[in-house]
Each structure stands twice: as C-alpha cells, then as structure tokens.
Amino acid sequence: MIIHNIGDSQSVLNKFISEIRDTSIQKDAMRFRRNIERIGEILGYELSKILDYSNKNITTPLGQKEMLLPVNPIVLCSILRAGLPLHNGLLNYFDTAENAFVSAYRKHIDDTNFEIKVEYFASPSLQGKTLLLADPMLATGGSLITTYNAILKNGTPKEIHIIAVIASKNGIDFIEKHLPKNTHLWVATVDDTLNDKGYIIPGLGDAGDLAFGKKL
Ligand code: PRP
Ligand code: URA
C-alpha cells in the first residue's frame, strides 16, 4: 500500500484537524461536519495529482486550448453514517463521479468485542473504474475491509484510493494485509493506538455522533 500522510507537512489542513479533535470546538456539529468536508476537499485535491490525465481540446469564446483532464471514471463510495460529510467534500471536487453507499456498523457481542455488519449497499459497476473508498475513522480497519469485500461483487476496480481523516497504526497495518499492493491510502493524520473498545487514541471520539447526534 502506498501511504500519503498529508498532515505530515505544514498546511491549513492541520487547523481543520485540530478543530475536529478539540472538545471545546467539536460541540458545534455544523463546524465539525464542515471541517470533515474541507478535509475531504484537500485529500481529494492531493489524490487528483496522481490520476491518469489526457489532453482535451477546449473551445473558449476566443479560441482553443489543450487541457489535461482526468480520464478514468470515478466511483466514490462511503460508509454510513460518519462518511457523509467526507463524501460531500470529495464530491465537491469529483463532481461527475458515480456514487456508492454502504451501511456498516459495529454489532457488539459484549463491551469490548464486536463484528462488522453490512446490511445494505447501493453501488454502480466498479469494473475498470477508479474507486475512492472514504471513511473518516480508520480504527480497527474492520468496517473498511468488510465494505470493500461487499462492493467487490460489483466488479474489479482499476485502481483503489482509500481516504481517511484519522487512521490508527493498527488499522493501517490491517487494511494493508487485505487490499491490493498498489492501493493508495490518503490520510490527514495518523494516531498511535486504539483503546479496548476499538476507539482511536487520542482520535476525536465518535465521528458519527459528533456529526449527526447520538444513536440508541
Ligand atoms: C465509524 C467510522 C467507521 C468505523 C471505523 O463508524 O465511520 O465506519 O467507525 O471503525 P473500524 O475501523 O474499527 O471499523 P461508526 O461505527 O461510529 O458508525 P456511525 O458512523 O454510524 O456512527
Ligand atoms: N469510530 C469512531 O467514530 N471513532 C473511533 O475512534 C473509532 C471508530
């Protein structure tokens, strides 16, 4: 897997990451969602630099201009529900992408053990396309790999880009074992550990709850 840790270099991205982590700012759900969206825009821009491009002749009112434009069709796939603001950010830049949505959730066996359940997915064909698979939190990596295996029923993508806001080192190691070697991971920041409930430490807490409120 080719890992691009975009927060490693100094940029305004780090301000957005600090705001989604900060307990005094993350209470503002609208700002939390908007920051996740802005991070999606930045990661999308970064990954756009390595897509395949070809020349297209564009007609302006006053002449012609050869422009390099992305060629391969994109499918943008997100995991409900925390993935929605990240999805919007990516879609702001890849506005002609096809879209896929997957419901994946942790079904708890007891306080510390859970399995990932996928009960619904809606996806176009992935065959030969560029798959962007986005989820803000890459904790154990279970949701991402379960989702990937579910959507593969709709074809084999030409290339795969995983987009995450905060990833744990364990999550990165886990997905690396289950994805093709040439997969790219675009991550805003990486944290060291998980707690015994599978939450990223220090992370930000529960991304779905912060964006959309607590669930039963
Ligand atoms: C979050 C996040 C991932 C998952 C990551 O969703 O959006 O899908 O946790 O954890 P994992 O890497 O250990 O699988 P969550 O379960 O909080 O659901 P929600 O978005 O519906 O709140
Ligand atoms: N899901 C979250 O929302 N946060 C974590 O730290 C782990 C999983």
Tens of pLDDT along 69-92?
Answer: 999 999 999 999 999 999 999 999
Residue 112 has pLDDT above 90, yes or no: no
Query: The CATH number of the domain where 37 resides is what?
Result: 3.40.50.2020
Report the number of distinct structural domains present in the chain: 1
Crossing angle between the packed helical segments 29-48 and 13-21, to the nearest 10 degrees: 150
Probe target for ligand 2 pocket from 191, 200, 212, 214, with the most ligand atoms within 8 Å of CB = 200
Is 61 domain-assigned? Answer: no
Is 182 domain-assigned? Answer: yes
The pLDDT of 95-114, averaged and rounded, is 90
Probe target for ligand 2 pocket from 116, 165, 206, 210, with the most ligand atoms within 8 Å of CB = 206
Per-chain mean pLDDT for the chain? 96
Structure confidence at residue 173 (pLDDT) = 98
Poorest-pLDDT segment among 30-44, 113-127, 170-184: 113-127
Is 108 domain-assigned? Answer: yes
Atom number in ligand 2 closest to CA 199: 6
Closest ligand to the CA of 193: 2
Q: Which long-range contacts (CB under 8 A, 24 or more apart) does 207-211 make?
A: 207/36, 207/82, 207/136, 207/137, 207/165, 208/81, 208/82, 210/20, 210/26, 210/29, 210/32, 211/29, 211/32, 211/33, 211/36, 211/81, 211/82, 211/84, 211/85
| Residue 165: C-alpha distances to residues 10, 65, 120, 157, 178 (Å) | 16, 37, 24, 23, 20
Residue 111 has pLDDT above 90, yes or no: no
Query: Each residue of 154-207: pLDDT tens digit?
Result: 999 999 999 999 999 999 999 999 999 999 999 999 999 999 999 999 999 999
Is 63 domain-assigned? Answer: no
Closest ligand to the CA of 207: 2
Atom number in ligand 2 closest to CA 203: 6
pLDDT band at residue 215 using 50, 70 and 90 as cut-offs: confident
Structure confidence at residue 109 (pLDDT) = 87
Structure confidence at residue 113 (pLDDT) = 86
Is 58 domain-assigned? Answer: no
CA of 200 to the centre of ligand 2 (A): 6
Is 93 domain-assigned? Answer: yes
Nearest one of 52, 129, 136, 53 to 98, comparing CA atoms = 129
CA distance 154 to 94: 21
Is 106 domain-assigned? Answer: yes
CA distance 43 to 146: 23
Is 62 domain-assigned? Answer: no
Probe target for ligand 1 pocket from 114, 135, 140, with the most ligand atoms within 8 Å of CB = 135
pLDDT band at residue 110 using 50, 70 and 90 as cut-offs: confident
Does residue 137's CB lie within 6 angstroms of at least one atom of ligand 2? yes
3-state secondary structure of 95: coil
Query: Each residue of 135-144: pLDDT tens digit?
Result: 999 999 999 9
Residue 121 belongs to domain spanning:
2-51+68-212
Residue 45, classified by CB atoms within 10 Å of its CB into exposed (0-12), middle (13-18) or buried (19+), is: middle
